[in-house]
Amino acid sequence: MIAVTCDNVQGGDMVRALLKHDHLVYASGLFRATTERKFSVPEESGSQSNVQTCVYVFQREYAIVNPERVKIIGTDEATTCVGIVIRNSRSGMTSCAHLDTPDVVDIGLSQMLSLVSDSDDNAILDVHLVGAFDDSAPQGNDDDGSELYSEMDGYSFPLCIKIVEKLAESKLKFQIQNFQVLKHNTRWDSEGNAYPIFHGLLVETSSGSVVPANFDRSTRCPDEIIRRIRLGASFENPILAGRLLDTYETQADRFVIKPFSWSMRQVHIASVMRHRSDLEILLTTSTSPAAEVPDFVDNQKRIWEYLIQHPDWKEAFPSKAPRVFKRTGGTNWEMSSE
């Protein structure tokens, strides 16, 4: 495990050093050799004793879970984003987030730590990062990166820099266990085009084991479409600037989607975009059009169809009440009236 310290080292240099560190290179090899877990309802269904309670995190969301109540937490669909896990090795409290830009890192990491760090400063916090493939360097140029990388190259490297800098600045004790980002999470085709090796991760909260994972639509719940729409709407809400979206209530083990509005501008964009070709959609809406997950375009179309059919946000939030979901099984939720 690698302790994160600053010692006046620039963020880019820290990232490059972590990519070369023997322990993290070895850990990356083990991670790549691990079979990606395809998480689905049929896999986890069956007798009640075998049900594994799960919390799923979408882009720009975070959740903190108690291992006594939630067995699995995870996220996927990352290309230039980072799925990050912070786990208290003593209490087992586990936080997971899907970071998409450097501007959510400062406040976002503080949000993630709210129930994870102990009142004393002696807890060791294990950190796992997966995602953010190398979207800037051509194949074969992965030496020390000094000439390849600058803080303006691609989307992935600046995000990783910001995360590492923020961890290093903290007085808490972070130990990086997995650094499956950039060149560690990149494969190239025969023409030298880069793609992510893994798009997601899953944490078994009782043991702290982290494995590559893919969640199907049935497990990206609850309230998938509304939560996806909220991501787009959050960019137009100055109150949410720099913050991760808070959805899951740890102590109550429930999801609460607070009322938010979508504008007629978003509805208009939806009505225009739904007629575009798949290639145009990718080029317009993705930071990595050639590297997106297979259902990316379909997910965008489902969002736009909902907005067109429900242009008034109050239909989703009658009386401006939050949408509350209580667990009925491992990955099953039902809407509740509080």
Report the number of distinct structural domains present in the chain: 1
Let me know if residue 21 belongs to a domain. yes
Give, in degrees to the nearest 5, the angle at Cα 97 between 180 and 239.
140
CA dihedral 26, 27, 32, 34 (to 10 degrees): 120
The pLDDT score that the predictor gives to residue 225 is: 98
The pLDDT score that the predictor gives to residue 151 is: 43
Let me know if residue 223 belongs to a domain. yes
CA distance 330 to 112: 23
Mean pLDDT (whole number) for 268-289? 95
Let me know if residue 204 belongs to a domain. yes
* Structural domain of 207: 2-227+237-259+325-330
CA distance 47 to 221: 21
Let me know if residue 292 belongs to a domain. no
pLDDT at position 245 over 60: yes
Let me know if residue 311 belongs to a domain. no
Mean pLDDT (whole number) for 161-169? 95
Backbone phi and psi for residue 165, each to the nearest 5 degrees, phi listed first? -60, -45
CA distance 184 to 32: 9
Mean pLDDT (whole number) for 91-110? 97
* Range of lowest pLDDT (39-53, 114-128, 157-171): 39-53
Task: For residue 83, give Cα distances in angstroms to 80, 101, 210, 286.
Answer: 10, 12, 11, 17
What size, in residues, is the chain? 338
The pLDDT score that the predictor gives to residue 3 is: 63
The pLDDT score that the predictor gives to residue 6 is: 56
Query: pLDDT digits over 205-218, tens only?
Result: 999 999 999 999 98
The pLDDT score that the predictor gives to residue 149 is: 47
pLDDT at position 256 over 80: yes
CA distance 251 to 169: 29
Burial 254-275 (b: 16+ CB within 10 A, else e): bbebeebebeeebbebbeebee
The pLDDT score that the predictor gives to residue 147 is: 46
pLDDT band at 330 (very low <50, low <70, confident <90, very high): confident
pLDDT at position 194 over 50: yes
pLDDT band at 161 (very low <50, low <70, confident <90, very high): very high
User: Residue 175 is inside which H or E element, if any?
Assistant: strand 173-182
pLDDT at position 146 over 80: no
Mean pLDDT (whole number) for 205-233? 95
Mean pLDDT (whole number) for 283-291? 94
* Range of lowest pLDDT (133-142, 150-159, 270-279): 133-142
CA distance 162 to 158: 6
Picking from 248, 256, 265, 225, the residue whose alpha carbon sits closest to that of residue 324 is: 256
Q: What is the CA radius of gyration of the chain?
A: 20
Task: Kindly write down the DSSP assignment for every residue of 58-117, as one continuous string.
Answer: -TTEEEEE-TTT-SEEEE---SSSEEEEEEETTT--EEEEEE-SGGGHHHHHHHHTTTTS
CA distance 231 to 306: 14
pLDDT at position 321 over 80: yes
CA dihedral 224, 163, 117, 64 (to 10 degrees): 0
The pLDDT score that the predictor gives to residue 191 is: 86
Mean pLDDT (whole number) for 207-234? 95
Let me know if residue 291 belongs to a domain. no
CATH number for position 83: 3.30.1330.200
* Percent over 90 (pLDDT), the chain: 79
pLDDT at position 137 over 90: no
Let me know if residue 313 belongs to a domain. no
Query: pLDDT digits over 18-68, tens only?
Result: 999 999 999 999 999 999 999 987 544 444 445 689 999 999 999 999 999
pLDDT at position 289 over 60: yes
Let me know if residue 284 belongs to a domain. no
pLDDT band at 244 (very low <50, low <70, confident <90, very high): very high
CA distance 52 to 172: 31
CA distance 70 to 44: 14
Q: Determine the distance from the C-alpha atom of residue 220 to the mean position of all C-alpha atoms in its chain, rounded to a whole number.
A: 12
Mean pLDDT (whole number) for 84-99? 96
CA distance 221 to 61: 13
